[in-house]
Amino acid sequence: MNHYPDRGCATGGPSCLECPLPRCVHDGPPMFVQSNRASDARIAAAVKALHLPMQTAVAVIAEDNNLTHRAVYRILQRHDNQRS
């Protein structure tokens, strides 16, 4: 039987058993994936809310969010794939 020290993690606290989080960050999808999904949804909604031609809306959103046009198109594609 292995005995591993309970050192916790950078997110939760000094040990796993004393962690204040309701769910371990290591039990679900990585936090950056959850964050990306929320960010993707926000950007997709912003493009649609502009009521402009797609190319113009992408240019505006790219400029406002310091992204390339291609990055915005990738976000839109990824967002559409997640909804399907």
Write down the mean pLDDT value for the chain: 83
70: closest CA among 83, 80, 79, 58?
58
In sequence order, what are the residues at sequence separation of 6 or more whose Cβ sits closer than 8 angstroms to the Cβ of residue 78? 40
- What single-letter DSSP state applies at residue 40? H
Q: What is the mean pLDDT of residues 58-81?
A: 92
Domain chopping of the chain, boundaries: 30-83
The answer to pTM > 0.85 is no
Tell whether the model's pLDDT for residue 32 goes beyond 60: no
Q: For residue 81, what are its two tokens? A: 């794939």
Give the pLDDT band (50/70/90) at residue 30.
low
- Quote the pLDDT of residue 28: 67
Q: What is the mean pLDDT of residues 34-41?
A: 76
